[in-house]
Amino acid sequence: MPMMTAEQYEESLRQLNLVVHMFGKRVENVVDDPIIRPSMKAVAKTYELAHLPEHEDIMTAMSHITGKKINRFTHIHQSIGDLVKKSKMGRLLGRETGCCFQRCVGMDALNALSIVTFNIDEKYGTEYYKRFLKYLEYVQENDLTCDGAMTDPKGDRSLPPHRQPDPDQYVHVVEEKKEGIVVRGAKAHQTGAVNSHEVIVMPTIAMREEDKDYAVSFALPSDAEGIIYIMGRQSCDTRKLEGDTIDRGNMLFGGHEALVVFDNVFVPWDRIFMYKEYDFAGQLVENFAAYHRQSYACKVGVGDVLIGAAQTVAEYNGAAKASHIKDKTVEMNHLNETLYCGCIACASEGHKEPSGTYNVNILLANVHKHNVTRFPFEIARLAQDIAGGLMVTMPSDMDLRSPDTGKWLEKYLKANSDIPTENRMRILRLIENITLGTAAVGYLTESMHGAGSPQAQRIMISRRENMQEKQRAARKLCGIEES
């Protein structure tokens, strides 16, 4: 079939039979649930933009398998240009949605598997890469959204998987059958899980031989029997139950996370891409992490929105000409564009892997993501500084509409006389949403912990940085002879 439209994507989700729980109850209509629906609409934007001529070059690609035009989110990078366009796509969608659009993690899982399945086959003579290409063609032909599931609950962090008091703290194989395997465990913090057609499971850490039952990677339909979704809470999430009130901040889009439980789930052999090859678990983690750390170009797009909101509220407040406001917006732009430099750099310095897939520069991808753990927090702080305290003390939309209180809010919350009070309230709510509310999960907390915590990037930087070469250069210039 051709690339799906946003409408076709929404309809495809209605065909799924997901087991989703939220607030202690089963969600019967996942697509139309008012808390979940804004996140679905954010994913739908990835389908909508792919059909617009002005975004075709960034949002689509040619499949290296079929030669057909496909959505870039299902593409395997075939060049440096593909990697650069991926970064540009992330910024575009972050700016268009003002939140997490959820589809990057599946794209990054596909690309990491295209590298590692090939490498496993080279060493062991297996046929994982052939299986993977068949699966990839299915994903591309049906324009599917995939949830890349890597993060296990982990239990006691001081213990490896095989020594956990509860073995289910990491997804593992509990039974092998003629037709496939049975797995049990859970994946945490799964962004966009209930908006996905497929779940791609990967190990979450490097493993030893004792952990081989945990060294497993596979893909399943998101509504496969035994998969259970438990929705995570977000700050201000129940504001979405209030309808189209300005208190939502972002009136169009949102994100979500879920705990995904695998309760004795059967996986057929043709959907298994790693099975006990423990020595490749770390390689899969490292490659996926590098790709996903590049994907934080999305935070630059959300940063664009926040900077625009800060400039707007400064104008609404009548403070835009103040020198300190100008200094702050310049600093916000400097930090945001520095992030963009990082994601473009790791793409531009990419390289071709033995499988033919182009990978990012892993060192620079980790440097980029490490900057993401810092700069958005400063951008958010400056936006809150410019916005003022009304951002968090402002009465509700219902008070604005009330015949008893509306006139007082219209009177006392007005600043610039040329700007309607409601517009000032709307832009303040958007800043609140991005820096404190539901979007703060996708902008701030995800900036910190998504694709690995800051320490994970520092470890990779220390491994990848060539300190010996730097020392050699220093010794050479000051006349120290090499021993």
pTM above 0.75, yes or no: yes
pLDDT at 378: 98
Assign 25 a pLDDT band (cuts: 50, 70, 90). Answer: very high
Active-site pick, 9, 47, 100, 145: 100
H/E segment holding residue 94: helix 80-97
Is 172 part of the annotated catalytic residue set?
no
- 141 pLDDT above the threshold of 80: yes
Active-site pick, 47, 60, 99, 104: 104
pLDDT at 323: 98
Active-site pick, 96, 198, 257, 277: 257
Are 136 and 115 within 8 A, CB to CB? no
Mean pLDDT of 354-374: 97
Provide the percentage of residues in the chain whose pLDDT is more than 90: 97
Mean pLDDT of 437-457: 90
Active-site pick, 75, 197, 292, 370: 292
- 57 pLDDT above the threshold of 80: yes
Mean pLDDT of 6-17: 98
Sequential DSSP letters for 130-171? HHHHHHHHHHHHHT--EEEE-----SSTTS-GGG-SSGGGS-
Is 257 part of the annotated catalytic residue set?
yes
pLDDT at 482: 84
Give the C-alpha separation, 194 to 450, whole Å: 18
pLDDT at 21: 98
* Separation of CA 279 from chain center: 27
Number of neighbouring beta carbons within 10 Å of residue 98: 28
pLDDT at 442: 87
Backbone angles phi, psi at 20, to 5 degrees: -120, 130
Mean pLDDT of 3-8: 97
- 2 pLDDT above the threshold of 90: no
DSSP 440: H
Give the C-alpha separation, 144 to 315, whole Å: 43
pLDDT at 26: 98
pLDDT at 1: 72
- Give the tens place of pLDDT for each residue, 113-133: 999 999 999 999 999 999 999
pLDDT at 12: 98
**Could you tell me which residues come within 8 angstroms of residue 347 by beta carbon, excluding any fewer than 6 positions away?**
80, 83, 84, 86, 87, 294, 360
Active-site pick, 145, 151, 191, 312: 191
Backbone angles phi, psi at 210, to 5 degrees: -65, -20
pLDDT at 128: 98
Is 351 part of the annotated catalytic residue set?
no
Assign 249 a pLDDT band (cuts: 50, 70, 90). Answer: very high
- Pairing status of strand 216-221 against strand 272-275: antiparallel
Active-site pick, 214, 229, 275, 296: 296
Is 127 part of the annotated catalytic residue set?
no
- Give the tens place of pLDDT for each residue, 189-247: 999 999 999 999 999 999 999 999 999 999 999 999 999 999 999 999 999 999 999 99
pLDDT at 5: 98
Mean pLDDT of 29-37: 97
DSSP 271: G
- Pairing status of strand 60-62 against strand 198-201: unpaired
- Give the tens place of pLDDT for each residue, 400-425: 999 999 999 999 999 999 999 999 99
Domain annotation for the chain: domains and CATH numbers: 293-475 (1.20.140.10)
Active-site pick, 96, 117, 145, 298: 298
- 252 pLDDT above the threshold of 90: yes
Mean pLDDT of 470-474: 94
Are 477 and 413 within 8 A, CB to CB? no
- 110 pLDDT above the threshold of 90: yes
Mean pLDDT of 342-356: 98
**Can you count the helices (H) and strands (E) in the chain?**
19, 14
Is 97 part of the annotated catalytic residue set?
no
Give the C-alpha separation, 10 to 4, whole Å: 10
Is 296 part of the annotated catalytic residue set?
yes
The rounded mean pLDDT for the chain is: 97
pLDDT at 483: 76
Give the C-alpha separation, 253 to 44, whole Å: 10
Is 104 part of the annotated catalytic residue set?
yes
- 90 pLDDT above the threshold of 80: yes
- Give the tens place of pLDDT for each residue, 254-312: 999 999 999 999 999 999 999 999 999 999 999 999 999 999 999 999 999 999 999 99
- 481 pLDDT above the threshold of 80: yes
